[in-house]
Structure 1
Amino acid sequence: MVTEKSAIFIIFGGSGDLAHRKLYPSLFRLYKSGFLKDHFAVIGTARRPWSDDYFRETVITSLKDYFDDEEEVMKEFSKHFFYQSHDVNDSEHYIALKNLAAKLDDQFKAGHNRVYYMAIAPRFFGTVAEHINSEGLKTADGYNRLVIEKPFGRDLDSACELNGNISKAFPEDDIYRIDHYLGKKMVQDIPVIRAQNDKFEEALNNKYVSNIQVTLAESIGVEDRGGYYETAGVLRDMVQNHIMQIIGAIASIDPKAKDAKVIHKNKCDLFGSLKDLTPEQVDTNFVRGQYDTDNLDDEKAYRQEDNVAEDSNIETFTAGKIEFENDRWSGVPFYIRSGKRMPDKSSRIDIVFNDNVTDLGIKANTVVTLLIERTNDHSILINGIDYKESAQDFIKFPEEKDFVGAREAYESLIIDILSGNRVNFTLWDELRSTWTYIDAIRERWDSQTPDFPNYVSGTMGPDAAEMLLERNGDSWVWDD
């Protein structure tokens, strides 16, 4: 049964791409399903001098890209939207926001609940959080939740500075750091699958696992994100957050834990056991690449993309071997890989078991694949064993109906924000550990000049990515 939620959303960057492409369609789905109905309002803020009516028109236009023949519902939905022109550095503008939010709270009976959503450039996060606090936007009677999009810093120092600024205005329990992969159904289902399949969970350790592979591959290039990628690269964009959080879901202890604090402590403990990297180990264990044109020259090289330097040394591909120093995973390589312009879009976890798994009655060298992006009939594939005869005892397939109408990632995460459920968001202690690890790689790479470009568009990345596994006698499960 759906329980209606009440809140005033203040979306900083309400005129932007993220808001129109992700947030407004997700809010509309929640409106249609009844999670949001009568007791909510959305204030969009940005520098542009829009009127409420024009803002509503842009919201309806963005919805038409995703929904058909629902214009009357869209119009009713848009009546909950209001616009406030805003300069993030102007205190008077925050006072105007406070007054508008209070007015709308009375009008829609929103329970004095506030969601402050940062859909703006990261350099403004701290400024906005400080002004929300200093100008008295927070309410005394309801909740006040700050939602922050990635990137949360670009290295450990900047992340520490950002966290320090935000934590002066909001306690950690009120900060919701978005990682949209944590809103994807399969990632959320991983603890459930582990908890409900005792034999599978028993096999997830260094006695039975040969290696675990996480691949987040895209067939597209950077498109209109060249300027962003020049400051980020795939290491910061995909590994520090998405891949690390996926590893946290499959490798942390106690999948039956329900309490958010226990779940996050388990992840913090896992990331705290990341094996330190020397510069020489970075050279051995990590590969970077940058895409070239394809063999027909139909696709641009990365260096030919808009807002990209002609001699750019930013990576669009990385592969690596991550190791942990703890009782459960010591000695098991976690191979990770992410890149642009690969042959296909694929988000997956491949768990490769060794010969010892026969002790559990499972065929040696079994591979279990969890598909994060649902591109096949099932989100779990098992290779190496006859599913009908023995796999049922090892791991159960999700029912097909479980995936019918599954919520979009942002829709799911917004429900969690409104419900105060912090399980699927990242905590500062987790970020501190992952940034420390990523900084060691970045520092080594920044001291060297790579031979870029080094892989052809539409391929599996540079040859060194294959050799990385071959040195250990392993190979990628997903190989075009």
Structure 2
Amino acid sequence: MNTNIKSQPTIFVIFGGTGDLNARKLAPALYNLYLEGWLPEQFALIGTGRTKLSDDDFRERMLKDINEFSRSGEAKEDKWQGFVPNVYYQAADVQNADTYQEFANRIKQLEEEWKTEANVIYYLAVAPNFFPVIAENLSKAGLTTDVERTRIVIEKPFGHDLESAKELNKLLGCIFQEKQIYRIDHYLGKETVQNIMAFRFANAIMEPLWNRNNIEHVQISVTEQLGVGERTGYYDGSGALRDMIQNHLLQLLCIVAMEPPVNFTAEEVRDRKVDVLRAMRRFTPDSVRDSAVRGQYGPGWIEGEKVPGYREEPGANPESNTETFAAVKFFVDNWRWQGVPFYLRTGKRLHRSASIITIQFKDVPHSIFPPEMADTMRKNRLVISIQPEMSIRLQVQAKRPGVDMVLNTVDMVFDYKGTYVAQAPEAYETLLLDVMLGDQTLFMRADQVEEAWDLVMPILNAWQNRASQNFPNYSADSWGPEVAEALVAKDGFHWFTIPLSSKK
């Protein structure tokens, strides 16, 4: 139990309270934080949307969502009865500045009841075009003036390109201080992602190996078996590069590649991540052709069920040039990583859903074993599985049992399920708690967002100006287009799909 949090009354105002994000992630996360004693005794959740609902109507919807999506299972009656009196609903048109006075009145009323000032967190779980409107209207209503107690949480996508990201940063910077702005990337809240920091910087044996002298290359893959489905309206203007690589995968790369921070403060950690992005080699039109490939899925079969291609999805443009797969080779031009390729890959309708980081170490400088003994010998590999399983595997060589000397690969495994009894929190639970604490370590800073956009803009521009002539170029249930395999094969490598010990 954190007594510091218990002493800080908190009001959450969730714009988009009737939407999918609140239903699947935010409401269950806040309820689980309540169950585990992380919410302060005085808290309130105010959902808002255009739908006309009473407090009781909204509470019933929340209960249904929590029962369906919470990791803790269906809500127990006694616990729910303790939580639900703190839940309210306020119908509002976010584009109407007058309605924000109602939020001010509700906040004032709660603070008077509690006889103390509260931290107020505005969570923008809405379409990106509403971000500026809500921020400006909050300011007009005088709801942003308390720098120490007011915070705003912005969901991705943060901008559509570099210029729009700069514009949004500038607008928010005129209303809020940077320490009030929480640009959320839920990948950074995942337990295994956070453990990369612990694994790297809490173990003396890793730091001497974590450089170009010992590491051959790095792969970061986030693959999805699902298709776009009914999200074509959003996805057709985004694509895999914007949707995943510009934010999620580049953030994973930063954690893998960053220099050791002096301490574990938010600014120090984020400074080191920005250093990585600034050191990354920029693309030219020619290098885009050599270092980035794209794909779009066609129809196929997934687990015995026929699925449509991207252009046949509901609402999709039958001639869409949007990529549903992207793979890019990056370089970090600094002393630690010079010459080490970082391969990032993501796609939809692939063979398996998984998020895996693989560190491939160099071969031994000299093998003392004859070929017949070392036929199955492989290079050492560190495999960090973020999902579906949470594990860290160090793959090393060992002698196979028997009278003869035969080497094969074995795994030294740290597995969450096998090590800890307690259930790991969902990413949104960790991140919402950090917002309450005022800890920005796991949130993106303005310069970090802009550096990431600056890095991928040459690829986006090249693809926009040069339509692909062979879409769709991979079938559902494959591992992506052939050009993706060629991207790594020309360097003498291949994509790692699943940990060697996995039987699936």
Q: TM-score range by the shorter chain?
A: over 0.9
TM-score by length of 1: 0.93
Q: Tell me how far 1:435 sits from its aligned partner.
A: 0.1
1:136-151 to structure 2, matched below 5 A, reads: 136-138=142-144, 140=146, 143-151=149-157
Question: For residue 373 of structure 1, what is the amino acid of its counterpart?
Answer: Q
Q: Name the counterpart of 1:223.
A: 229
- Preserved CA contact (<8 Å) 1:320 1:335: yes
Partner residue of 1:391? Answer: none
Q: Within 5 Å, which residues of 2 pair with 1:76-475? A: 76-108=82-114, 111-138=117-144, 140=146, 143-254=149-260, 257-294=263-300, 298-355=306-363, 365-375=379-389, 379-386=391-398, 397=414, 400-402=418-420, 404-450=422-468, 451-475=470-494
Distance 2:222 2:480 in 1: 12
Verify the 8 A CA contact 2:92 2:99 in the aligned structure 1: yes
Which residue type is aligned with residue 82 of structure 1?
A: Y
Comparing 44-53 and 423-432, the one that deviates more: 44-53
Task: Quote the offset at 1:92 in angstroms.
Answer: 1.4
Deviates more, 1:465-474 or 1:69-78: 69-78
- Displacement of 1:138: 3.2
Q: 1:277 & 1:247 partners in 2: Cα distance? A: 17
Does the 8 Å contact 1:203/1:357 carry over to 2?
no
Shift of 1:364: 7.4
Q: CA deviation at 1:126?
A: 1.2
SS of the residue 2:236 aligns to: helix
For 1:387 and 1:57, how far apart are their aligned partners in 2? 60
Amino acid corresponding to residue 414 of structure 2 in structure 1: F
Residues 423 and 154 of structure 1: is their aligned pair in 2 closer, same or farther, counting only changes over 3 Å? Answer: same
The answer to whether the Cα contact below 8 Å between 2:354 and 2:388 also exists between their aligned partners in 1 is no
Contact 2:353–2:388, Cα closer than 8 Å, also in 1: no
**1:221/1:409 CA distance change after superposition, 3 Å:** same
Q: Give the superposition deviation at 1:203.
A: 1.0
Contact kept in structure 1, 2:66 and 2:75, CA below 8 Å:
no
Kept after mapping to 1: 8 A contact 2:220/2:345 = yes
Q: Secondary structure at the match of 2:101?
A: helix
SS at match of 2:237: helix
Q: CA deviation at 1:125?
A: 0.7
Q: What's the counterpart of residue 49 of structure 2?
A: 46
24, 27, 32: which one aligns with 1:29? 32
CA RMSD of aligned residues (A): 2.3
C-alpha distance in 2, partners of 1:139/1:78?
Answer: 29
TM-score (norm 2): 0.89
How far the C-alpha of 1:374 sits from its partner, in A, is: 4.4
Give unmatched runs, 5+ long, in structure 1.
389-393
Mapped to 2, the partners of 1:37 and 1:173 lie a distance apart of 21
Separation in structure 2 between the aligned mates of residue 126 and residue 403 of structure 1, nearest angstrom = 44
Does the 8 A contact of 1:112 with 1:142 survive in 2?
Answer: no
Shift of residue 50 of structure 1?
Answer: 1.3
- Once residues 307 and 58 of structure 2 are traced to their aligned partners in structure 1, the CA distance between those partners, rounded to angstroms, is 37
Tell me, what secondary structure is at the counterpart of 1:105? helix
The one-letter code matched in structure 2 to 1:469 is: V
Secondary structure (helix, strand or coil) at the match of 1:338 reads: strand
Q: Distance in 2 between matches of 1:172 and 1:357?
A: 49
Aligned AA (1:61): K
Runs of 4+ in 1 over 4 A off after TM superposition: 356-359
Shift of 1:416: 0.6
Size of the aligned set, in residue pairs, is 471
Residue 115 of structure 1: CA displacement?
A: 0.4
- Partner of 1:215, secondary structure, is strand
> What is the distance in 1 between the residues matched to 2:365 and 2:154?
42
Deviations 1:377-405 (A, max 9, x none): x60112233499xxxxx988366334731
